[in-house]
Structure 1
Amino acid sequence: MDKKANIRNMSVIAHVDHGKSTLTDSLVCKAGIIASARAGETRFTDTRKDEQERCITIKSTAISLFYELSENDLAFIKQSKDGSGFLINLIDSPGHVDFSSEVTAALRVTDGALVVVDCVSGVCVQTETVLRQAIAERIKPVLMMNKMDRALLELQLEPEELYQTFQRIVENVNVIISTYGEGESGPMGNIMIDPVLGTVGFGSGLHGWAFTLKQFAEMYVAKFAAKGDAQLSAAERAKKVEDMMKKLWGDRYFDPATGKFSKSATSPDGKKLPRTFCQLILDPIFKVFDAIMNFKKEEAAKLIEKLDIKLDSEDKDKEGKPLLKAVMRRWLPAGDALLQMITIHLPSPVTAQKYRCELLYEGPPDDEAAIGIKNCDPKGPLMMYISKMVPTSDKGRFYAFGRVFSGLVSTGLKVRIMGPNYTPGKKEDLYLKPIQRTILMMGRYVEPIEDVPCGNIVGLVGVDQFLVKTGTITTFEHAHNMRVMKFSVSPVVRVAVEAKNPADLPKLVEGLKRLAKSDPMVQCIIEESGEHIIAGAGELHLEICLKDLEEDHACIPIKKSDPVVSYRETVSEESNVMCLSKSPNKHNRLYMKARPFPDGLAEDIDKGEVSARQELKQRARYLAEKYEWDVTEARKIWCFGPDGTGPNILTDITKGVQYLNEIKDSVVAGFQWATKE
């Protein structure tokens, strides 16, 4: 854990039901936590009862795996490394739109993402949403095409059609990346995915096999190599394999007669040549599938010998699908292929925090905390971001789950706990408390641990009373907050809840408080009429929240209303009448006018291009140049609402009026209150 160059923090993201949890299984099984025979059906990361019943992932679950690379594979890593053992912190996240807040929380604490796409249905809406979130957080993606067994067995595609399908998916993903990314000149460099570089995996999570072009390139390099090449050094071998990988994708063709690669689709004597990807990679896989699924015993036995696959005695008697699974799992184990792809292509905390620091930290870019984060320095001040609260087996207590960005967190350490509304120098939302215990999250279990250096993902016990959902934990006195997460959905569906027995009201209120802690997205509101309202992202999300509330948090029977969607209003065109109101003491008259923003300004405010904290003249210049505002008006922005950051602006356009400052506070307060409703 101390070798921070050898840590990989990654999350698995995808559309609903493209097989994230199933894939995660093959990784977990590689690390030896569950039996390989049951991988693919266990869904180790679906820890809750309702997740197993509905067969969907609801909460993100974290697991730590240890993986060792062989010498030859180490040569492929382009960043600093330290030994051959790698610690991979993997977070399996849900795919449903309703739970996209869980995905956001998972992305904040990781540096890389494994994007899973079903090769039958292609890139879907939710794939695009989560990928966009990942790129906005500066997270490097690698792609995995899942469900190849379906393409072969159900759709019975030809190799060329299958290649075209893959090609299309890779293009779609790259279009999304280039649309939302910062281009090659950005701080991350080029993050486009490309099978030639080995950043695309193909396989089937259910059957437990997968490969990248690297695996096949290695087989062929070993096969084509002359006798004298056996003593190649690891670096030279890596170079050969990389050259080979370039030949295995795209418009490259293979001439089986001469054994040469060519760039044209026809051979010198006019025969049509097969594409290398089809001939050298898909063809062997098709042969294995064909021989086994059509019960051609001798052919299957020959192939198994040729591919040098050693089967157990029990596997030898199988036929059809079970045998297919056993053979493919031996020949192309999914765990190896994916873990190699993760360790080679995803950034370590050392690499990633250099370019993510400016996005993560609100304070000045050169104070101690920022420098500690940039260098991922275990001797720097402790900076840790808590992205969510995880309920414990003990009713009403939570683990704070987050990532250490700099410094060292240990049991009994006295820390400053800063909530999201803390501003440096003030006392609000700040607590000084010791950490009771630090723990590692392992899917369904937790492991206690003494101290955790930066770059790791960890759970804390004993800070749950002081934080609602997210916050920053630090030992540095002048530290600013880590930036708050942006959610891509907002809670719009509401339900009113009340206790069946009025005497249980205090329990209900206590339960609502706990519910608000455990889910990053839920809002619990008390209306003026005294109703308790829960707002969530969708009906499925609410259903699960209410079940949690009834069974875990409040433990009382509850009555609930039908879900209602709350509507939002906006200004569509400039008001044609000047609106006038008088204050109760008849001394002030307020004239107001509403007009819509120019296109794109609201998005700019959301991104933080225009904000209340900016320098006044600079902001005025930006508005005047980009949106053609009147310069004098742009200088007199009174506030942004709601909450001082929302996309509504109150501007003072009066000329030569005295004593404005006396009423400014009251007007601003009224504006904030009106925009919140």
Structure 2
Amino acid sequence: MVNFTVDQIRAIMDKKANIRNMSVIAHVDHGKSTLTDSLVCKAGIIASARAGETRFTDTRKDEQERCITIKSTAISLFYELSENDLAFIKQSKDGSGFLINLIDSPGHVDFSSEVTAALRVTDGALVVVDCVSGVCVQTETVLRQAIAERIKPVLMMNKMDRALLELQLEPEELYQTFQRIVENVNVIISTYGEGESGPMGNIMIDPVLGTVGFGSGLHGWAFTLKQFAEMYVAKFAAKGDGQLGAAERAKKVEDMMKKLWGDRYFDPASGKFSKSATSPDGKKLPRTFCQLILDPIFKVFDAIMNFKKEETAKLIEKLDIKLDSEDKDKEGKPLLKAVMRRWLPAGEALLQMITIHLPSPVTAQKYRCELLYEGPPDDEAAMGIKNCDPKGPLMMYISKMVPTSDKGRFYAFGRVFSGLVSTGLKVRIMGPNYTPGKKEDLYLKPIQRTILMMGRYVEPIEDVPCGNIVGLVGVDQYLVKTGTITTFEHAHNMRVMKFSVSPVVRVAVEAKNPADLPKLVEGLKRLAKSDPMVQCIIEESGEHIIAGAGELHLEICLKDLEEDHACIPIKKSDPVVSYRETVSEESDVLCLSKSPNKHNRLYMKARPFPDGLAEDIDKGDVSSRQELKQRARYLAEKYEWDVTEARKIWCFGPDGTGPNILTDITKGVQYLNEIKDSVVAGFQWATKEGALCEENMRGVRFDVHDVTLHADAIHRGGGQIIPTARRCLYACVLTAQPRLMEPIYLVEIQCPEQVVGGIYGVLNRKRGHVFEESQVAGTPMFVVKAYLPVNESFGFTADLRSNTGGQAFPQCVFDHWQILPGDPFDNTSRPCQVVAETRKRKGLKEGIPALDNFLDKL
């Protein structure tokens, strides 16, 4: 148990080579928080006896009741490596004490925005995988995000106790299970990573290197091959080896680790290792991993769980495990926990793996700088980040807001990448919309206090140098969710985070008592701050809309709103899904609209995108910020666009970045550039509120074919052109077979074989379709993957459980947009109903407006 004083922590903070910022990431219920406990208990903030029960990082009441982690919290740990272990570290180091900033993030897909926020401020990740159920959809999503942020992973196989006690696997089967998980994770890493030639080098995980841990968080034991290699090196050591130096010893252990995994076999008769599976006299040899590592563990489990007293006593003595007097009288599982905890303490193994294999800020910021910083790669700020220089200008990224005990105030939580942040320092607070040289989204204010976040407690601290994670007081009024804090005048922003889910489910909220409206508005502002993903919008009809990632996410948001942020009773509507409008064919006529003064005419057509382009724009492969020629080449090669047209893209919309394009394919028109801004404004307006039911458009390309304009500038101002452009665009859409698109979830369901039929039944009722079904090797579990419209997903979980006797566990992730089959003009079709409902809800006129409103005759 280490008890910290703030001064001690502050002293370690300066040794930036000995800091590790890491997060724990995994699928829901694979045991992240429980594992985190054994780390915290080792590094001394919970009393040892209570680890495993406390789930220290789950700070909120609803997290403790639901047993899931919702918000990511941060904790600092302190760990000292022994002289011998320091020899394993391949990067620069500074003394033997390490400060580990650990961020426990949620695994539930609805909170993946929390995970993204956690990843941005860390350099390494401990990926936890349940060895019974293997790599799941969420593990993959989060790992993919981590690799995109250039974060180095190490793997922990959790829940080994289940594999041994429930599934009763044989050692060889267990080895195969591990081998398969390692392969699956490496496939993800190599698919999304930059390869060995990239700036990070090889980040594949490998048990031989010690980057894979095995164990059980609940029982509090874990090991990597390093622990066993050390035992065997000591055991096989020749008499003269006692005086080995740390470096030579490390070399021996590393050699030993290579023999403990893969197709290496051990001959117990001669005590030698061999590469072939049969001994010289033809006996089948056991695999070293099974014989030397799993066998002792199986023996301990077997002896204790079958109450073999003498054997247990012998094993305990042989393994040199010293039990307390109170532990000696235990039997069965409690004794098993005590023995395994003593023999292979989880905290030790994991903390060693973290300190040895995860990068320090000094190492990581060299290759992460270009991803983190938007500005030029050689200005002062970038150099400060690259070198992690405490004397450089302050550069700090705020990744999220954490509510304080004081209602309505937030701590800004983030990481210092360069310089030193201190109480009372006057800084530039830059929101995500800030551009250098302009005043928008920029505040010059002093920081009131800097604090350390310790799970459930906060400690004030004078100043914090770069490489560390910190909370700030007094910045929350100026930032909504994320932002950059700096002292350097010409600094650019840190890049905005990319979320892997998008808010597609909306609820309208109102106060039960109309007099509480101001409180509700204030509460919504606070809610928008506290959750990195939620959107709060006011519709034109005056409704307050909250948009979230899914049912569970919205439920938590509404609960927060009611209890913490607004503190008033709230009425909420049924959840509604947002749709997108698109077209399915090219416009059948060239659409003409005249301006209100009849002096200007616009001719346009609409046509659908080729498949995949809208997704490319979402990902950012095609964007408004790209270099013109490069973008044109990409469009021409991949989507067979005409190169000259591809160079004349006016803009993307809505919001300047959306998946719709306005191109100019006119030939020799006078005054065209003068009306460009007005047409673009009309385009942004039209794509934000489409013709069918005022939802965003998606995947539509508009071509400006011809324009005739009045010669006097005054007759072709914005007031004449903007509404004309909008009418013309609407006419294009209505003549091009308009369609609605709905959001689709990718659902992954884990279930035993016998209930697969029930799942198909539920999915068919809900318009879902299964596209993959596979068995989890070595278990009776099946994984069913299906697409399910978000609109049908409400109550899906409850429905599924009632049809499968509670044995199926679904996970939904937003996957893509898909066209709703049917014509919105046909009164019997599904899109027609959706359009009617949406228009009614928004208070628009009934029915889709007639084409004559938009299309003019010559």
- Per the TM alignment, residue 601 of structure 1 is displaced from its structure 2 partner at its CA by 3.6
Q: Which runs of 5+ in 1 are unaligned?
A: none
RMSD: 2.0
**Which secondary structure state, in structure 2, belongs to the residue aligned with residue 439 of structure 1?**
strand
In 1, the alpha carbon distance for the partners of 2:252 and 2:610 equals: 55
**Which secondary structure state, in structure 1, belongs to the residue aligned with residue 481 of structure 2?**
coil
In 1, the alpha carbon distance for the partners of 2:198 and 2:610 equals: 28
- Per the TM alignment, residue 38 of structure 1 is displaced from its structure 2 partner at its CA by 1.5
In 1, the alpha carbon distance for the partners of 2:604 and 2:68 equals: 50
- Per the TM alignment, residue 609 of structure 1 is displaced from its structure 2 partner at its CA by 3.7
* 1:553-612 Cα shifts (integer Å, max 9, x gaps): 111111111111212233444444333322222222222323333444444434444332
User: Structure 1's 90 and 429: CA in aligned 2 closer, same or farther, altered over 3 A?
Assistant: same
**Which secondary structure state, in structure 2, belongs to the residue aligned with residue 196 of structure 1?**
helix
- Stretches (4+) displaced over 6 A: none
- Per the TM alignment, residue 660 of structure 1 is displaced from its structure 2 partner at its CA by 1.3
* 1:503-525 Cα shifts (integer Å, max 9, x gaps): 11111101100110000011001
User: Structure 1's 260 and 199: CA in aligned 2 closer, same or farther, altered over 3 A?
Assistant: same
In 1, the alpha carbon distance for the partners of 2:52 and 2:546 equals: 36
* 1:322-363 Cα shifts (integer Å, max 9, x gaps): 000000000000001000000111111111111111111111
- Per the TM alignment, residue 41 of structure 1 is displaced from its structure 2 partner at its CA by 1.2
In 1, the alpha carbon distance for the partners of 2:225 and 2:608 equals: 52
In 1, the alpha carbon distance for the partners of 2:634 and 2:152 equals: 31
* 1:89-142 Cα shifts (integer Å, max 9, x gaps): 000000111100000000000010100000000111111110111111111110
In 1, the alpha carbon distance for the partners of 2:589 and 2:372 equals: 45
Q: Could you tell me which residue of structure 2 aligns to residue 213 of structure 1?
A: 225
* 1:471-512 Cα shifts (integer Å, max 9, x gaps): 000001111111100000001111111011111111110110
- Choose 619-628 or 351-360, whichever is displaced more: 619-628
In 2, the alpha carbon distance for the partners of 1:241 and 1:598 equals: 56
Q: Could you tell me which residue of structure 2 aligns to residue 568 of structure 1?
A: 580
* 1:443-487 Cα shifts (integer Å, max 9, x gaps): 000011000000000000000000000000000111111110000
In 1, the alpha carbon distance for the partners of 2:181 and 2:462 equals: 45
In 2, the alpha carbon distance for the partners of 1:578 and 1:301 equals: 90
- Per the TM alignment, residue 263 of structure 1 is displaced from its structure 2 partner at its CA by 1.1
* 1:619-640 Cα shifts (integer Å, max 9, x gaps): 3334334433222212211112
**Which secondary structure state, in structure 1, belongs to the residue aligned with residue 564 of structure 2?**
helix
- Choose 640-649 or 572-581, whichever is displaced more: 572-581
In 2, the alpha carbon distance for the partners of 1:339 and 1:572 equals: 56
In 1, the alpha carbon distance for the partners of 2:315 and 2:433 equals: 64
In 1, the alpha carbon distance for the partners of 2:608 and 2:205 equals: 40
- Choose 646-655 or 149-158, whichever is displaced more: 646-655
Q: Could you tell me which residue of structure 2 aligns to residue 450 of structure 1?
A: 462
- Per the TM alignment, residue 650 of structure 1 is displaced from its structure 2 partner at its CA by 1.3
User: Structure 1's 571 and 5: CA in aligned 2 closer, same or farther, altered over 3 A?
Assistant: farther
In 2, the alpha carbon distance for the partners of 1:596 and 1:328 equals: 62
In 1, the alpha carbon distance for the partners of 2:594 and 2:241 equals: 91
1:384 equivalent in alignment to 2:393: no
**Which secondary structure state, in structure 2, belongs to the residue aligned with residue 671 of structure 1?**
helix
In 1, the alpha carbon distance for the partners of 2:584 and 2:128 equals: 40
In 1, the alpha carbon distance for the partners of 2:23 and 2:594 equals: 56
Q: Could you tell me which residue of structure 1 aligns to residue 475 of structure 2?
A: 463
- Per the TM alignment, residue 671 of structure 1 is displaced from its structure 2 partner at its CA by 1.7
In 2, the alpha carbon distance for the partners of 1:617 and 1:56 equals: 49
User: Structure 1's 321 and 603: CA in aligned 2 closer, same or farther, altered over 3 A?
Assistant: same
Number of aligned pairs? 677
* 1:185-235 Cα shifts (integer Å, max 9, x gaps): 111111111101110000000000000000000100010010101111111
- Choose 263-272 or 218-227, whichever is displaced more: 263-272
In 1, the alpha carbon distance for the partners of 2:494 and 2:93 equals: 28
- Per the TM alignment, residue 368 of structure 1 is displaced from its structure 2 partner at its CA by 0.8
In 1, the alpha carbon distance for the partners of 2:52 and 2:663 equals: 59
- After superposition, residues 574-589 of structure 1 pair within 5 angstroms as 574-589=586-601
- Choose 630-639 or 242-251, whichever is displaced more: 630-639
In 2, the alpha carbon distance for the partners of 1:269 and 1:650 equals: 77
In 2, the alpha carbon distance for the partners of 1:176 and 1:569 equals: 34
TM-score (norm 2): 0.78
User: Structure 1's 317 and 233: CA in aligned 2 closer, same or farther, altered over 3 A?
Assistant: same
- After superposition, residues 597-616 of structure 1 pair within 5 angstroms as 597-616=609-628
In 2, the alpha carbon distance for the partners of 1:575 and 1:85 equals: 69
TM-score (norm 1): 0.98
* 1:352-398 Cα shifts (integer Å, max 9, x gaps): 11111111111111111111111111111101010000000000100
- Per the TM alignment, residue 616 of structure 1 is displaced from its structure 2 partner at its CA by 2.6
In 1, the alpha carbon distance for the partners of 2:176 and 2:608 equals: 46
User: Structure 1's 421 and 458: CA in aligned 2 closer, same or farther, altered over 3 A?
Assistant: same
**Which secondary structure state, in structure 2, belongs to the residue aligned with residue 178 of structure 1?**
helix
1:64 to 70, 76, 83: 76
In 2, the alpha carbon distance for the partners of 1:316 and 1:501 equals: 63
**Which secondary structure state, in structure 1, belongs to the residue aligned with residue 37 of structure 2?**
helix
1:536 equivalent in alignment to 2:563: no
**Which secondary structure state, in structure 1, belongs to the residue aligned with residue 606 of structure 2?**
coil
Q: Could you tell me which residue of structure 2 aligns to residue 642 of structure 1?
A: 654
User: Structure 1's 184 and 570: CA in aligned 2 closer, same or farther, altered over 3 A?
Assistant: farther
* 1:218-257 Cα shifts (integer Å, max 9, x gaps): 1000100101011111111111111111110111111100
In 2, the alpha carbon distance for the partners of 1:49 and 1:79 equals: 41
| Identical residues among aligned pairs (%) | 98
**Which secondary structure state, in structure 1, belongs to the residue aligned with residue 286 of structure 2?**
coil
In 2, the alpha carbon distance for the partners of 1:97 and 1:587 equals: 54
Higher relative CO (CA 8 A, sep ≥ 6), structure 1 or 2?
1
1:134 to 146, 151, 173: 146
2:412 to 366, 376, 400: 400
* 1:412-436 Cα shifts (integer Å, max 9, x gaps): 0000000000111111100000000
- Choose 391-400 or 559-568, whichever is displaced more: 559-568
User: Structure 1's 572 and 235: CA in aligned 2 closer, same or farther, altered over 3 A?
Assistant: farther
In 1, the alpha carbon distance for the partners of 2:87 and 2:157 equals: 25
In 2, the alpha carbon distance for the partners of 1:356 and 1:637 equals: 32
- Choose 596-605 or 456-465, whichever is displaced more: 596-605
In 2, the alpha carbon distance for the partners of 1:308 and 1:415 equals: 57
In 2, the alpha carbon distance for the partners of 1:574 and 1:41 equals: 62
**Which secondary structure state, in structure 1, belongs to the residue aligned with residue 494 of structure 2?**
coil
1:356 equivalent in alignment to 2:368: yes
Q: Could you tell me which residue of structure 2 aligns to residue 176 of structure 1?
A: 188
- Per the TM alignment, residue 618 of structure 1 is displaced from its structure 2 partner at its CA by 3.5
User: Structure 1's 500 and 577: CA in aligned 2 closer, same or farther, altered over 3 A?
Assistant: same
In 2, the alpha carbon distance for the partners of 1:144 and 1:586 equals: 71
Q: Could you tell me which residue of structure 2 aligns to residue 16 of structure 1?
A: 28
In 1, the alpha carbon distance for the partners of 2:29 and 2:525 equals: 32
In 2, the alpha carbon distance for the partners of 1:201 and 1:572 equals: 52
**Which secondary structure state, in structure 1, belongs to the residue aligned with residue 516 of structure 2?**
helix
1:518 to 497, 510, 530: 530
- Per the TM alignment, residue 615 of structure 1 is displaced from its structure 2 partner at its CA by 3.1
In 2, the alpha carbon distance for the partners of 1:10 and 1:611 equals: 32
* 1:65-101 Cα shifts (integer Å, max 9, x gaps): 0100011111111111111110000000001111000
* 1:161-183 Cα shifts (integer Å, max 9, x gaps): 10010011011111111111111
